[in-house]
Amino acid sequence: MQKRIMIEAKAAIQERQKRLELGIDLHPRSKEDIMSWVGYLKFVEKDSIYYGQTYEVSVKLPSSYPMDPPQVSFVTKIFHPNVKYETGEICLNLLKKEEWTIATSLYSLMIALQSIVNGPNCDSPLNLDSGNLFRNQDIVAYKSMVDYCYYENDLKHE
């Protein structure tokens, strides 16, 4: 299992520039703990409601990785139907044990996160307010809440 993690860590270093251009940065938090990773999703597509915003993601690998999925959560608060605002918990089928496959890399997981942020699934939202605004296509109010919550993160760190 450690071999797979080392391969992914090496790829993260070697392909970092290409991945940054796509808005993804992902690497172990430290050389001492390769089971704890930090990811950053920067939304670089101009048509994204989240354009220009960067969100930190925590990735905790179980000792059984890649047989079992990692625990993934948003560290940066995000207003989104599939993310619980208070905890950063993510509703993504790929993260469920029964949906996870050994072929899924951490990088492809980050791509899936980027994809669900840009295209929410409102059938079973973790954030009901966000889900209702998105489902009702109140894009102006939704974008206002996205921006408000994002900039609230900055205010908490000042």
Per the annotation, the verdict on 91 as an active-site residue is yes
What type of residue is 71? Q
Among the listed residues 57, 61, 90, 91, the single catalytic one is 91
pLDDT number for residue 154: 73
Please give the torsion angle defined by the CA atoms of residues 81, 87, 91 and 93, in that order, rounded to the nearest 10 degrees.
160
Name, in order, each residue with C-beta under 8 angstroms of 155's C-beta and a sequence gap of 6 or more.
Answer: none
Please report, in tens digits, the pLDDT of each residue of the chain (158 residues total).
589 999 999 999 899 999 999 999 999 999 899 999 999 999 999 999 999 999 999 999 999 999 999 999 999 999 999 999 999 999 999 999 999 999 999 999 999 999 999 999 988 899 999 999 999 999 999 999 999 999 988 765 44
The CATH homologous superfamily for domain 2-156 is: Ubiquitin Conjugating Enzyme (3.10.110.10)
pLDDT number for residue 153: 85
Other residues' Cβ atoms within 10 Å of the Cβ of residue 145: 20
Separation between Cα atoms, residue 31 and residue 63, nearest integer Å: 17
pLDDT number for residue 158: 44
pLDDT number for residue 1: 58
Are the C-beta atoms of 69 and 93 separated by less than 8 Å? no
Spans of all domains in the chain: 2-156
Structure tokens at 21: 């251009």
Q: Is 129 helix (H, G, I), strand (E, B) or coil?
A: helix
